[in-house]
Chain A
């Protein structure tokens, strides 16, 4: 059976495709841009579908937890870096000008291949992963590298490589000429510099790396050098003739799947450095809950601006099914709705979530419906469009899914909008869906059983606090006098100082 880090039965390509609109509605496209930054381009496709079943979600969550640990992370990270170098060296074989240079690069590709696999094997064993997936991979790897052919390849490549690395020449440059000698020099000036500037490590910027070809000076050096070391170059030729290209199909698939975890863990670590903690959610069925849940996309934007995000709590338990969230504009309503959607997405993918603590039960799917802003169409056109987008969500296949709705039927008459909104809510609840409905229509909070009313809070001065709490919608249009406006009455001050 094939081995996969994404699915326990070894088939990684049969997940549930997530429509791009879900990702953009929840601003997860921004999160993924950040996650994929600096990784191979094709990583992004791995994030575009959910695991096929509940068991696969758990399978991935276990692996992710392993990769979060320093030891597994660095083992996998180093291996990934090795792959990158290997590809780079392989491209140099193509570009090399002389046969002898091609052989030297080939040796390096093989050496990197064997040594990075051996290192990964040793480091994984030491890290002792707990997940089923990584345990299987680790034992597969051990078996692979103890095979006789691999062992001989490794020995031959290593010994030749070491020999090449040991060659050194000393160049003296004085009054317009270079003198070349085999061997090493004590590096006195280098030592002097390092003593004068302790704790500094500087890289020598090699001036001849801009091309794969030899510079004129290098050509001269190589000419003198190969003439002196004929023996070594004979052995190298024999090595190249003995071993054809080496590749293992199982490994290339897994190498790609590793990035699924690596990229996200690096992202999580990066967020942590900015002061944003994430946690692994538990998955019991009794409730959907989170402490200090925040919008991950907003956190990314804000951390670039040096601003903080306001975290909120989440609790949906027992017979509660759907939140109806109302409150003033710009009060953080949509942000809260998004953060719930992100929570479900991340949890389904097996990742950690932006909260101090969270429990996310299994949902069959995740759907979003966000009103399209500034549509040129008005009245019937836009309403039609909304209803059509709503239709697939009402489909049987979405029973038991989590739904995020942001402002429905804004172009319809109030009476109609309330009636339609309530019907949508009742229908979704009867389908055993859970979710959140962000709206300016306070009346929806009274839809009935299963509906929990939330409000985006304001302070005495009608300023948004970005805090979300359970409460029936309130009318906040009281007029305040100047002093009250600036919260400077005795009572207000007492409260401000308390």
Chain B
């Protein structure tokens, strides 16, 4: 039984993540986003602090985000589900809770070790049956929860789930599964204690088997004709309880009585175990199927719950969001696009950028220090990754095309403790990136090759950027390498697919933190900053 709330045609798992996801999370600072996913800001403790977060939600968001969606259809599919989740937050919380409880109860019975006790032992089989009961009960609850909310579903995902639950876990099937569980209940105590006239009842088996004798006259070819568990009073397990009557029946022809015969009792127990093992063996696929379902449910609901938390925080800080439109051409348009991570840190007090970068293969961003260049670059990266995760984007409008892969190459000032030289490390990272590149990839370069001299760095950057562009790779670069920027500018200023942006710089020297098209200048206004700080 598939949940399919992340993908239309498959469950979570085994999909290919961004090749260098670790760098992306580090360079774009995504860990704050995952942190935000953990906590529901709207739930407050008595003292007014936010309730403790659930790290699992952050993990789920992180893992899903690491695997980009590759088509507009996939993105649309997930966006619609996300919208349903936001309207039906109660249901998402319920489903997450049900799956948590099922998995926790199952954990107590040794889920991680594939059950308690050795395979093939009585103890293992007893817990296996208990697990089956937990899963069937859980499925019943999931179905009821989804059914209760079915009226308002707008997404194909939830509608499909509802239909599958109705079909694959129909009333009839549910009833039959409980019949199977009940027939095995003499073996594994799955019910609350039953009593009759102040006496506890025990469950005893009643079965009819056919067997052949062709295997050297040993019994074989078993076929089960009937199997039941009967609740009887304790002293009536072996017979009707009347000593005389029991003795007479045990002497009839064709009867093998276990009364007073320990060896026969042992054989009978072996047969009971074999019969229950056999019946249970039919359920093993179901256990792994339902088990996987609850794993998926826990994970996928964890993801949506995390996104709901991110969205609440955006609302709290007044950050507007939209569901991005996927462009089939190579257009990139944005209105009031904000850098989400910084916006969270600054409680929403950030500046948005508006612009259009249609059909641009190369975007070179230069200009003043502290002018918001890196922030802008990151905002494009974060929005692109959120879009390709099916999420909302912190902008009034965002429209972009799908990138087959995304790489970031940011100069990391904190990486001071390196064994090999820093340039060596930068180049090694670049080499790894190049290995994964293909036509349609996006590479974000932030002050790359600033670890060597301006001259050498420019030469390296020039060669790489030119080759990448010619290979059909999209490059957005923030750079202080002015010779590099100049050289590229001279060569491509008339090209339609290259644009040069600069941090806006008003006549009075004030910075607006907005990016505007601007030819690269020979100064990076470092002097102004110097003057401002030290002057």
Chain A residues within CB distance 8 Å of chain B: 92, 96, 100-101, 104-105, 108, 161, 164-165, 167-181, 184-190, 192-193, 196-197, 200, 202-209, 212, 214-218, 220-222, 224-225, 482-483, 485-490, 493-494, 496-497
Interface, chain B (partner A; CB < 8 A): 173, 176-177, 179-180, 183, 204-214, 216-227, 232, 236-240, 249-250, 254-259, 261, 263-264, 266-268, 270-271, 273-274, 277-279, 281-283, 285-286, 423-424, 427-428, 430-431, 434, 437, 460, 462-464, 466-468, 470-471
The residue of chain A having its C-beta at the shortest distance from the C-beta of B427 within the complex is A486
**23 A/B residue pairs, CB under 8 Å, sorted by A:** A104-B216, A164-B214, A165-B214, A168-B212, A171-B208, A171-B210, A172-B208, A173-B208, A177-B256, A180-B254, A186-B225, A189-B224, A192-B176, A193-B180, A196-B176, A196-B282, A202-B281, A206-B274, A214-B217, A217-B256, A217-B267, A224-B254, A488-B464
With A165-B214, A168-B210, A490-B467 as given contacts, are A202 and B238 in contact (CB-CB < 8 Å)? no
Complex formed: what's the CA distance from A487 to B464 in Å? Answer: 10
Nearest to A485 among chain B residues (CB) is B427
Q: What are the residues of chain A within 8 A of B424 when measuring CB–CB?
A: 482
User: Which residues of chain A come closer than 8 Å to B249, judged between CB atoms?
Assistant: 177
Q: CA A177 – CA B463 in complex, angstroms?
A: 89
* Bound Cα distance A169, B210 (Å): 6
A494 B467 Cβ-Cβ under 8 A: yes
CB-nearest residue of chain A to B223: A187
Q: Least Cβ distance of B466 to chain A in Å?
A: 6
Given contacts A189-B226, A197-B283, contact A493 B264 (CB under 8 A): no
B257 and A176: CB pair below 8 A? yes
Chain B residues with CB under 8 Å of A490's CB are: 462-464, 466-467
Closest residue to A210 on the B side, CB-wise? B270
Which residues from A are CB-within-8-Å of B256? 177-180, 217, 220-221, 224
Contact check, B218 vs A196: say whether CB atoms are below 8 A apart. no
Instruction: Report B-chain residues with C-beta under 8 Å of the C-beta of A92.
Output: 216
- Complex Cα distance, B424 from A485, in Å, reads 10
Residue of B nearest to A200 (CB): B282
Flag if B216 contacts A108 (CB, 8 Å).
Answer: yes
Separation of A203 and B226 alpha carbons in the complex (Å): 17
Complex: A224 Cα to B214 Cα, angstroms: 16
Q: A175-B204, A217-B271, A497-B467 are in contact. Are A202 and B254 (CB under 8 A)?
A: no
Instruction: For the complex formed, measure the closest distance between the CB of A95 and the CB atoms of chain B, giving whole angstroms.
Output: 9
Which residues of the other chain, A, contact B204 by a CB distance below 8 angstroms?
175
Q: Output the least CB separation between A284 and chain B (Å).
A: 43
Give A102's nearest chain B residue, CB to CB.
B216
Q: How far is the CA of A206 from the CA of B216 in the complex (A)?
A: 14
User: Which B residues are CB-close (under 8 A) to A200?
Assistant: 282, 285
Which residues of chain A are near B270, meaning CB under 8 Å?
A: 207-208, 215
- Per a CB cutoff under 8 Å, which of A177, A203, A214, A222 touches B258? A177
* Contact (A197, B211) CB under 8 Å given A189-B225, A212-B216: no
With the chains together, A489 CA to B464 CA distance in Å?
7
User: Assuming the A-B contacts A168-B212, A216-B267, are A177 and B282 also in contact, with contact meaning beta carbons closer than 8 angstroms in the complex?
Assistant: no
Given contacts A214-B218, A216-B263, contact A486 B268 (CB under 8 A): no
Q: A178-B255, A192-B176 are in contact. List 17 more A-B contacts (CB 8 A).
A: A104-B216, A105-B216, A168-B212, A170-B210, A177-B258, A181-B254, A185-B208, A187-B210, A189-B183, A208-B219, A220-B264, A221-B213, A222-B213, A224-B254, A488-B431, A489-B463, A493-B463
| A175 close to B278 (CB less than 8 A) | no
A residues in contact with B279, CB < 8 Å: 193
Closest beta carbon of chain A to B120's beta carbon, Å? 9
Q: Which of B239, B258, B282 contacts A193 (CB 8 A)?
A: B282
Q: Is the CB of A168 within 8 A of B211?
A: yes
- The reply to whether A493 and B467 contact each other, CB–CB distance below 8 Å, is yes
Q: How far is the CA of A173 from the CA of B227 in the complex (A)?
A: 10
User: What are the nearest 3 A-B pairs in CB distance?
Assistant: A176-B238, A493-B467, A217-B267
In the bound complex, residues from chain A placing their C-beta under 8 Å from that of B227 are: 189
Q: Report the minimal beta-carbon distance from B183 to chain A, rounded to whole angstroms.
A: 8
CB distance from B165 to the nearest CB of A (A): 17
Output the nearest chain A residue to B179 by Cβ-Cβ distance: A192
Nearest Cβ in chain A — how far from B48, in angstroms?
54
- For A96, A178, A186, A203, the residue with the greatest tally of chain B CB atoms inside 10 Å of its CB is A178
Q: What chain B residues lie within 8 Å of A208 (beta carbons)?
A: 218-219, 267, 270
Residues of A contacting B268 with CB < 8 Å?
Answer: 173, 176, 178, 217
Do A196 and B220 have beta carbons less than 8 Å apart? Answer: no
Determine the distance from Cα of A391 to Cα of B430 in the docked complex, in whole angstroms.
55
Minimum CB–CB distance from A462 to chain B (whole Å) comes to: 15
- Closest chain-A Cβ to B515's Cβ sits at a distance in Å of 28
- A185 contacts B225, C-beta separation under 8 Å: yes
Instruction: Check A496 against B434 for contact (C-beta < 8 Å).
Output: yes
Q: Which residues of the partner chain A approach B250 to less than 8 Å between Cβ atoms?
A: 177
Query: Of all chain A residues, which has the CB nearest B263?
Result: A216
Q: Is the CB of B225 within 8 A of A218?
A: no
| Cβ–Cβ < 8 Å partners of A487 in chain B | 431, 434
* Known A177-B256, A188-B225: A493·B216 in contact at CB below 8 Å: no
State in angstroms the CA–CA spacing of A196 and B285 once bound together: 12
Bound CA span A215–B177, Å: 34
CA distance A207 to B267 in the complex (A): 8
Q: Bound complex: CA of A192 vs CA of B223, how far in Å?
A: 12
**Contact between B223 and A207 (Cβ–Cβ < 8 Å)?**
no
Contact A101 B427 (CB under 8 A): no
Contact A483 B427 (CB under 8 A): yes
Given A207-B270, A494-B467, A497-B467, A101-B225 contact (CB < 8 Å): no
Provide the residues of chain A in CB contact with B206, threshold 8 Å.
173-175
What residues of chain B lie closer than 8 Å to A185, measured between beta carbons? 208-210, 223, 225
Q: How far is the CA of A187 from the CA of B211 in the complex (A)?
A: 11
Q: Which residues of A lie under 8 Å from residue B240 when comparing CB positions?
A: 175
Which residue in B238, B267, B273, B464 is a CB contact (below 8 Å) of A175?
Answer: B238
Q: Are B210 and A218 in contact (CB under 8 A)?
A: no
Q: A204–B222 contact, CB under 8 A?
A: yes
Known: A168-B212, A177-B256, A189-B227. A196 touches B180 (CB 8 A): yes
Interface contact A209-B225, CB-CB below 8 Å: no
Q: How far is the CA of A192 from the CA of B180 in the complex (A)?
A: 9
User: When chains A and B are docked, how far (Å) is the Cα of A192 from the Cα of B227?
Assistant: 11
- Please indicate the chain B residues that have their CB under 8 angstroms from the CB of A181 in the complex: 254
Residue of A nearest to B222 (CB): A204
Most buried by B among A203, A205, A485: A205
Report the separation of the CA atoms of residues A168 and B213 in the bound assembly, to the nearest whole angstrom: 7
Find B211's partner among A108, A169, A212 (CB 8 Å cutoff): A169
Given A167, A224, A488, which contacts B212 in the complex, CB threshold below 8 Å? Answer: A167
Q: State A178–B238 Cα separation when bound (angstroms).
A: 12
Name the residue on B nearest A217 (C-beta).
Answer: B267
Q: Which residue of A lies closest to B232 (CB)?
A: A175
Complex interface: chain A residues within 8 A of B210 (CB)? 168-171, 184-185, 187
Asked whether, in the complex, the Cβ of B207 is within 8 Å of the Cβ of A173, the reply is: yes
Whether the Cβ atoms of A215 and B213 lie closer than 8 Å is no
Q: Closest residue to B462 on the A side, CB-wise?
A: A490
Q: B222 — which chain A residues lie within 8 A by C-beta?
A: 204, 206
CA–CA, A299 and B263, complex, Å? 54
* B430 with A225: CB separation less than 8 A: no
Is the Cβ of B278 less than 8 Å from the Cβ of A204?
yes
Q: How far is the CB of B193 from chain A (nearest CB, A)?
A: 21
In the complex, what residues of B have CB within 8 A of residue A488's CB? 427, 430-431, 434, 460, 463-464
| CA A227 to CA B431, docked complex, whole Å | 85
In whole Å, how far is B330's beta carbon from the nearest beta carbon of chain A? 19
- Once bound together, how far apart are the Cα atoms of A196 and B283, in whole Å? 10
Residues of A within 8 A of B254 (CB): 179-181, 224
Task: Give every chain B residue within 8 A of A104 (Cβ-Cβ).
Answer: 214, 216-217
Q: Give Cα distance in the complex from A192 to B207, angstroms.
A: 14
A318 to B342 alpha-carbon distance, docked (Å): 73
Given contacts A197-B282, A482-B427, contact A215 B468 (CB under 8 A): no
A167 partner, pick from B177, B213, B468, beta carbons under 8 A: B213
* Bound complex: CA A429 to CA B471 (Å): 51
Cα–Cα, bound, A184→B223 (Å):
9
Q: Tell me how far the C-beta of A37 lies from the nearest C-beta in chain B, rounded to whole angstroms.
A: 24
